[in-house]
């Protein structure tokens, strides 16, 4: 089946000629307004050497004024043109600077073809290999290595062969079966649209021919898959809106819904406000299922013959995009299509060296690093291996505080331990245990600087609750680090894991009907939010013990501030590591007030 849209990505290092190449393609295909072309004859980038009256093709793809001022491409610029067979070519010009690799990765996730440019005067660079690796991970179908600026080396065949052999040797570790090498000059137009007389030694396709000759492979799998985009309700109507991602569907077909594994029959198919008997790949439809199964946005609908297993544990390739390093055990939002769910990176298996392809042990990932990680989600998802399905195998990780995209991931496979574990319910539940104790079970999370008074307040609060005949228990941060968390230090990753373990233990104790009091510095807002997210609404009470750092230093009950001042504790909160004040705590108390007054304030809030 021939697609009507072909997506092309251009990438490479800075000044390899990406924007110039795209600009020439657009002009040669008459896909640029004539007045814009006219302007490109007069406007110049900073430091441009293009003669007056000649077209500066690179300007035709820039969308940001800052790009023209700096002479670089910052954002991904999109343009389109028509091919000879009436397909529409969507071209994305990805930035070459290393700090903008995130932009390139996003564009690659949608691309059918990637053009990786190499400057013949500079040869293979680190960013070239990084972009090739990302194209490999993102499942780009065809890769064209355009060895550009050969006019600057007298169209040397030896230079072309040297760069090609260098890349082939390093690309043996990639899975890129459809790869082409084309010698060219984007500025002069050699081998861009037609063959160049300046390089008689090359008898392969021109760049445009190589692009136009690509067609999607016809797969043997034709079973239907679709993802639920929304639920449509009316007085006598309940349907699910979706776009058929693969295969076709007809009235009467039996389908499975994942991750719930429910089975239903397609009773009605609605398209353009009309009932139809069937729908094909790419059609946007509303399905009415019988019976009306419990289905939600993001669920996967597939033919009943599909063997798909939902899981909450996955192995994935991850491209880290954020300036702040990845912190294992920290909670992020995983977004895949319309699905949005809390997730944590439980383990970094290794990072991948983009130069050698070696797998190196790693405890974190820095910006633009690529690694293999294990991810745990709060509930099972029907995600598929990325090589099998780009649609159902990709995801992004989003920071829960800033809502910035921090990672782009590709599912390798689900982990069996996630598929083999099932939650076991018991007849004696939390409500029954609360009733037996005649109290409401809650988690009271005391957070604040070391020396703020958390443990003192926790002790006084537990005594008051006990005197009232209530069942309470204190989970103290230092005490837990002597046992359960003895293996953890004080890095950001260890602190995130410390909070995760304490919150999970606290959740179990709340389920047992207890009032749990936690005295924990827990300096990072996102970690405290993750702790709150695993509790039922109203069961988690964040109490901020607000004590100035000067007072805490003066108190210094454990001598920790004195050690930190000597450099003996490099990650000590308030000295070597920032404390993120709660933005919206349930209760804020003054750590300089009398302990009994603070205790009564918390009791008043609880009771």
Q: Which residues are catalytic?
A: 522
Cα within 13 Å of Cα(328), Cβ side: 17
What is the dihedral sign for C-alpha 274, 275, 276, 282?
positive
* Cα–Cα nearest to 373, from 357, 339, 350: 350
Classified as helix, coil or strand, 20 is: helix
* Cα–Cα nearest to 327, from 525, 518, 171: 525
* Cα–Cα nearest to 129, from 368, 289, 361: 368
Q: How far apart are CA 97 and CA 100, in angstroms?
A: 6
Burial readout 101-140 (b: 16 or more C-beta within 10 A, e: otherwise): bbbbbbbbbebbbbbbbbbbeeebbebbbbbbbbbbbbbb
Classified as helix, coil or strand, 424 is: coil
Cα within 13 Å of Cα(435), Cβ side: 5
User: 291: cis peptide before it, omega within 30°?
Assistant: yes
Tokens 């604040």 correspond to what residue?
Answer: 448
* Cα–Cα nearest to 117, from 36, 52, 39, 25: 25
Contacts of 115 (CB under 8 A, 6+ apart): 8, 9, 10, 11, 18, 21, 144, 146, 207
Residue 70 to residues 45, 149, 249, 509, Cα–Cα distance (Å): 8, 21, 52, 58
HEC sequence for 151-184: HHHCCCHHHHHHHHHHHHHHHHHCCCCCEEEEEC
Cα 354-357-359 angle, rounded to 5 deg: 105
Cα 377-378-383 angle, rounded to 5 deg: 40
How are beta strands 142-148 and 179-183 bridged, if at all? parallel
């Amino acid at each position: 089946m021939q697609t009507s849209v072909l997506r092309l990505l251009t990438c490479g290092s800075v000044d390899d000629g990406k924007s110039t190449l795209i600009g020439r393609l657009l002009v040669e295909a008459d896909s640029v307004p004539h007045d814009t072309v006219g302007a490109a004859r007069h406007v110049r980038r900073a430091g441009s050497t293009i003669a007056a009256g000649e077209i500066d093709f690179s300007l035709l793809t820039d969308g940001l004024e800052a790009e023209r001022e700096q002479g670089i491409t910052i954002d991904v610029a999109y343009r389109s043109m028509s091919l000879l067979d009436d397909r529409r070519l969507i071209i994305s010009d990805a930035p070459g600077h290393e700090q903008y690799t995130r932009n390139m990765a996003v564009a690659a996730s949608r691309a059918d073809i990637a053009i990786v440019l190499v400057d013949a005067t500079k040869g293979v660079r680190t960013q070239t290999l990084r972009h090739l690796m990302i194209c490999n991970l993102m499942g780009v179908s065809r890769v064209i290595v355009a060895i550009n600026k050969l006019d600057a080396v007298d169209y040397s065949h030896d230079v072309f062969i040297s760069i090609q052999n260098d890349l082939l040797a390093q690309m043996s570790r990639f899975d890129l079966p459809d790869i082409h090498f084309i010698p060219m000059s984007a500025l002069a137009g050699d081998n861009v649209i037609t063959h160049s007389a300046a390089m008689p030694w090359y008898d392969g396709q021109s760049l445009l021919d190589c692009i136009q000759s690509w067609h999607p492979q016809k797969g043997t799998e034709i079973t239907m898959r679709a993802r639920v985009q929304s639920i449509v309700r009316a007085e006598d109507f309940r349907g699910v809106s979706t776009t058929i991602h693969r295969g076709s569907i007809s009235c009467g077909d039996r389908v499975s819904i994942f991750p719930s594994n429910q089975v239903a029959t397609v009773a009605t198919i609605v398209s353009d406000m009309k009932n139809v008997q069937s729908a094909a790949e790419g059609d946007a439809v509303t399905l009415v299922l019988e019976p009306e199964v419990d289905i939600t946005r993001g669920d996967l609908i597939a033919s009943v013959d599909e063997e798909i297993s939902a899981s909450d544990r996955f192995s994935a390739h991850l491209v880290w995009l954020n300036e702040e390093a990845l912190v294992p055990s920290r909670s992020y939002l995983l977004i895949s299509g319309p699905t949005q769910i809390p997730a944590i990176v439980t383990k970094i298996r290794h990072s991948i060296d983009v130069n050698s392809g070696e797998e190196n042990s790693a405890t974190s990932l820095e910006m633009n690093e690529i690694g293999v990680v294990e991810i745990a989600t709060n509930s099972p998802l029907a995600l598929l291996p990325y090589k099998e399905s780009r649609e159902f195998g990709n995801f992004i990780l989003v920071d829960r505080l800033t809502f910035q995209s921090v990672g782009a991931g590709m599912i390798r496979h689900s982990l069996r331990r996630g598929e083999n574990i099932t939650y076991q319910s018991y007849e004696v539940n939390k409500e029954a245990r609360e009733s037996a104790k005649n109290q409401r079970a809650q988690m009271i999370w005391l957070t604040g600087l070391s020396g703020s008074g958390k443990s003192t307040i926790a002790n006084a609060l537990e005594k008051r609750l006990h005197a009232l005949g209530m069942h309470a228990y204190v989970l103290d941060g230092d005490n837990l680090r002597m046992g359960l968390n003895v293996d953890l230090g004080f890095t950001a990753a260890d602190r995130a894991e410390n909070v995760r373990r304490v919150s999970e233990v606290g959740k179990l104790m709340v389920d047992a009907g207890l009032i749990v009091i936690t005295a924990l510095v827990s300096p990072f807002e996102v970690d405290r939010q993750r702790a709150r997210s695993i509790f039922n609404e109203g069961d988690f009470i964040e109490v901020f013990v607000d004590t100035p750092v000067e007072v805490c230093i003066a108190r210094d009950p454990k001598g920790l501030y004195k050690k930190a001042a000597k450099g003996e504790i490099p990650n000590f909160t308030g000295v070597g590591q920032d404390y993120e004040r709660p933005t919206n705590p349930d209760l804020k108390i003054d750590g300089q007030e009398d302990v009994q007054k603070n205790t009564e304030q918390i009791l008043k809030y609880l009771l």
